Amino acid sequence: MLVNGIKTWAPILPVKRVVLDFSSPNIAKEMHVGHLRSTIIGDTLARMFEFSNVEVLRRNHVGDWGTQFGMLIEFLFEKFPNWEELGSQAIGDLQVFYKASKQRFDEDAEFKDRAQQAGGEEKYRAAWKKICEISRNEFDQVYKLLDVQLEEKGESFYNPYIPQVLEKLSSQGLIEESEGARVIFIQGHQIPLIVVKRDGGFNYASTDLAALWYRLNVEKAEWIIYVTDVGQQQHFDMFFKAARMAGWLPDPKEKKFPKTSHVGFGLVLGADGKRFRTRSTEVVRLGDLLDEAKSRSKSELLQRLTENGKIVDWTDEELEQTSKAVGYGAVKYADLKNNRLTNYTFSFDQMLSDKGNTAVYLQYAHARICSIIRKSNMDVEELKVSGNISLAHPDERVLGLYLIRYAEIVEEACTNLLPSVLCEYLYNLSEMFTRFYTNCQVVGSPEEPSRLLLCEATAVVMRQCFQLLGITPVYKL
């Protein structure tokens, strides 16, 4: 029952459609480790909901709108008069470009003026598109490496909806004039939520209100989930409350849908206890980070295989695939295993260790089970059809009972939006397996058929956990 058909052991959740707003970096600015966390946590949540038969709209709410674009566009015109013909590589590093344009903006009043007036003409739109496209290519490389699917609906997408949404809120008497701006006063907050700036422009909050309206009314989502650092908690708290005042959402005490949730997470710290940065540059290139994890795991693997004289058994392709699965998996797991609200210290040594609660340890545990199954002379596939599992030994019972809790665990992780719950389950499972395997002989024992099936069930559930965590399992290590 357990080893057959995946969907029979998925939980049943009280929602059908979820909008998951995650990753969401800003065009032309750095995609920092905070965005990496959002991408990894968001993807796992999406996978868990999808597994539970919930439709997930994976939304990349990129920052592709705002005052910085006038500055970027003017700078583009100035630096690259032939910008229209340029390929996406020609501008070079967009973050460097951003910094240079900011400097120009701060130092030259005439340039600043021009940047603030920019807009309207077709040529500005074309330039804006070009800049977005360059950024998008960079982001997509990271998503490809991480094997994360996202659909971009950036801030600009919701722009046309802002006036009508604000109009509605205004007619409900929620919007007031305050010091030249238009704001919503919210109980429990000293400063109001600004929805129209003093210069008449819209902002992050007005965009988020329009996006929420769209997600509720057009996309008909029942649960709208936002994954960002905890630093943005106040913003979310305020605009969720504004939406409740407008009657868009029920009181959270009623525990009804539709509902909104902010999935906050802590900082990524370096070994020095400060915000994580690499040595050479102040920003961490996500691609480099993943590369390093992979090459470190590759040299570990090579060393181990050489010592055991096993290197001949491995093709280059296998080596490459395995070190990628182990390295990338280590980065993801290190992020997911902690309660997301706590800060975590980024350390290659720690995450790539084969001891303790790491992805590497879990990959070894899984590969060991696979090798036990390979060593047996029995055919597991056949046993799955004709065999039975009997849980006679206490350690068999503990393992078996834990295996059937899988759906309950996924349900808990979804309900509380906590990927760490699934990580903890996976780790405990491998510990229970070790205890079982230490105390119960499998290959060559009279109980071999049943115990082999228990091994297989454990491997299947472990792989299912890996899959929900976005980690590629390896079968030999």
What residue ranges bind ligand ARG (CB under 6 A)? 21, 24-26, 61, 63, 208, 211, 226, 228
Residue 163 Cβ vs ligand ARG, minimum distance, rounded to whole Å: 19
Residue 25 Cβ vs ligand ARG, minimum distance, rounded to whole Å: 6
Residue 228 Cβ vs ligand ARG, minimum distance, rounded to whole Å: 5
Residue 408 Cβ vs ligand ARG, minimum distance, rounded to whole Å: 31
Query: What is the gyration radius of the CA atoms in the chain, in angstroms?
Result: 26
Residue 278 Cβ vs ligand ARG, minimum distance, rounded to whole Å: 20
162 closest CA partner among 193, 196, 186, 128: 196
Q: For 21, phi and psi rounded to 5 degrees? A: -100, 105
Residue 72 Cβ vs ligand ARG, minimum distance, rounded to whole Å: 16
Cβ–Cβ under 8 Å, residues 52 and 410: yes
Residue 348 Cβ vs ligand ARG, minimum distance, rounded to whole Å: 25
Residue whose CB is less far from ligand ARG, 61 or 451: 61
Sign of CA dihedral 211, 212, 213, 214: positive
Residue whose CB is less far from ligand ARG, 335 or 448: 335
Q: Which long-range contacts link 121-124 to residues 24+ away (Cβ below 8 Å)?
A: 124/73
Q: Which residue has the tokens 């078996």?
A: 400
Rounded distance between C-alpha atoms, residue 125 and residue 274, angstroms? 40
Residue 204 Cβ vs ligand ARG, minimum distance, rounded to whole Å: 7
Q: Which residue has the tokens 């050479």?
A: 280
Rounded distance between C-alpha atoms, residue 121 and residue 406, angstroms? 57
Residue whose CB is less far from ligand ARG, 224 or 351: 224
Residue whose CB is less far from ligand ARG, 63 or 329: 63
Residue whose CB is less far from ligand ARG, 261 or 347: 261
What is the CB-side half-sphere exposure of residue 107 using CA atoms within 13 A?
6
How far CA 438 is from CA of 177, 374, 389, 395, 441, in Å, comes to 71, 18, 18, 9, 7
How far CA 263 is from CA of 23, 236, 342, in Å, comes to 12, 10, 12
Letter string b/e over residues 220-246, b meaning 16 or more CB atoms within 10 A of that residue's CB: ebbbbbbbbbbeeeebbebbbbbbebb
Residue whose CB is less far from ligand ARG, 208 or 335: 208
Q: Which residue of the chain is nearest ligand ARG when measured via CB?
A: 24
Residue whose CB is less far from ligand ARG, 265 or 344: 265
